[in-house]
Amino acid sequence: MVRAALLTAVGAPLELTEIDLPEPGPGQVRVKLAAAGVCHSDLSLSNGTLRTATPTVLGHEGAGTVTAVGEGVNSVRPGDAVVLNWAPACGDCHLCGLGEPWLCERSAEGSAATYASLGDGTGVYPGLGVAAFAEETLVAERALVPLPSGVPLTSAALLGCAVLTGYGAVHNAARVRAGESVVVYGLGGVGLATLQAARIAGAGPIIAVDVSPEKEELARRHGATEFLLADDRTAKAVRGLTGGHGADHAFECVGRAATIRAAWSATRRGGRTTVVGIGGKEELVSFSALEIFYFARTLTACVYGNSDPAKDIPVLAEHVRAGRLDLEALITDRITLGEIPDAFERMAQGRGGRSLVVF
């Protein structure tokens, strides 16, 4: 039996319980978790903003050690340190063939079937395919990336979502160049990782925007050269910090219509607004045909950092080893499984950075 934080129904509080996790079958790997990050997507799944089957074990940002492998598994073996990949690409579908594995048509298959059971035999679904809010999990081989040497196993959990997403938004989606100006809206785990990525890219100025004044010190520690409190004058303030033009790149890391509009308004003519946050279907954003023509801005989404984890995680590991990327600085709270609801509350209130469940 494995201890886990279980979502019994959408909107219900998480319950600590024990689940029966089977031994790995063909192509499967069992992993003992070292740590799991608490992402805003987990909150969105728990409250119904994003859809999920129940009962389910949430958590999709994690790292741990392989304990057992099933028949046919060749890429990892017991004792290997690994990072969980919640959106594994199949490599065979149309979009994978186009070189866009982050849009794989089959990446969600891992969450479509139960992977464990409760004591009464009820099947349990793995949240986003990896179920990291548990002491151990069972995943497909392609849902793992071997952890390169030199990266602490616990903080490596953040590579699985926040850091890969933030870094990828800057380097893969927007392709920020040295000297370009950047503004980042929303300073949760992904937003803070985006600031670090902008610093690594050599951007400047790097402007951080949040509703909470307590985020300023945290933002500057991650690479922000300027900090602004979000209000109806923020876009004007961004223009004032960028020679009157607006930012070359704006990153929206919240997932709300109002913030997307604000990021768009803070972008210069001909600049790029990249939406990283995941919003609900009721969050509708509108633009006039005239402003689309006049401003000539590019508005684009970024899914999982537009990344290929097997290729990008080794790059991130090199940045960690070289001291350019600080994973520890992203972690503001180390918690237990039972404290995940408190982490959800902090997240909903816009407090802190990344909460990390340490097993």
The angle at the Cα of 305, spanning 302 to 309, to the nearest 5 degrees, equals 145
User: Is 101 a member of any domain?
Assistant: yes
State the pLDDT at residue 348. 84
Q: Residue 199: how many CB atoms within 10 A of its CB?
A: 19
How many domains is the chain built from? 2
User: Are residues 133 and 167 located together in one domain of the fold?
Assistant: no
User: Is 319 a member of any domain?
Assistant: no
Give 150-176 pLDDT, tens digit per residue.
899 999 999 999 999 999 999 999 999
SS3 state of residue 71: coil
Distance CA 124, CA 53 (A): 9
Q: Are 146 and 85 in contact (CB under 8 A)?
A: no
Q: Which is it for strands 331-335 and 354-358: parallel, antiparallel or unpaired?
A: parallel
State the pLDDT at residue 94. 97
User: Are residues 213 and 250 located together in one domain of the fold?
Assistant: yes
Outline where 306-351 has alpha helix (H): 309-321, 340-348
User: Are residues 14 and 154 located together in one domain of the fold?
Assistant: yes
Q: Residue written as tokens 């616990």?
A: 154
- List per-residue pLDDT tens for the chain, 359 residues long: 999 999 999 989 999 999 999 999 999 999 999 999 999 889 999 988 888 999 999 999 999 999 999 999 999 999 999 999 999 999 999 999 999 999 999 999 888 899 999 999 999 999 999 999 999 999 999 999 999 988 999 999 999 999 999 999 999 999 999 999 999 999 999 999 999 999 999 999 999 999 999 999 999 999 999 999 999 999 999 999 999 999 999 999 999 999 999 999 999 999 999 999 998 888 999 999 999 999 999 999 999 999 999 999 999 999 999 999 999 999 999 999 999 999 999 988 878 778 999 99
User: Are residues 142 and 199 located together in one domain of the fold?
Assistant: no
User: Is 135 a member of any domain?
Assistant: yes
DSSP symbols for 124-153: EEEGGGT--SBSEEEEEGGGEEEPPTTS-T
| CATH number of residue 226's parent domain | 3.40.50.720
Global pTM value: 0.93
User: Are residues 138 and 198 located together in one domain of the fold?
Assistant: no
DSSP symbols for 28-59: EEEEEEEEEEE-HHHHHHHHTSS---SSEE--
User: Is 310 a member of any domain?
Assistant: no
User: Are residues 270 and 341 located together in one domain of the fold?
Assistant: no
DSSP symbols for 202-256: T-SSEEEEES-TTHHHHHHHTT-SEEEE-STTHHHHHHHHTTTS-EEEEEE-S--
User: Are residues 34 and 154 located together in one domain of the fold?
Assistant: yes
Percent of the chain with pLDDT over 70: 100
User: Is 147 a member of any domain?
Assistant: yes
User: Is 140 a member of any domain?
Assistant: yes
User: Are residues 134 and 63 located together in one domain of the fold?
Assistant: yes
pLDDT mean across residues, the chain? 95
Structural domain that includes position 332: 2-160+326-358
Q: Residue written as tokens 């004792």?
A: 79
User: Are residues 34 and 130 located together in one domain of the fold?
Assistant: yes
Give 183-241 pLDDT, tens digit per residue.
999 999 999 999 999 999 999 999 999 999 999 999 999 999 999 999 999 999 999 99
User: Are residues 243 and 185 located together in one domain of the fold?
Assistant: yes
SS3 state of residue 281: coil
User: Are residues 138 and 203 located together in one domain of the fold?
Assistant: no
User: Are residues 80 and 197 located together in one domain of the fold?
Assistant: no
| CATH number of residue 141's parent domain | 3.90.180.10
User: Is 312 a member of any domain?
Assistant: no
User: Is 24 a member of any domain?
Assistant: yes
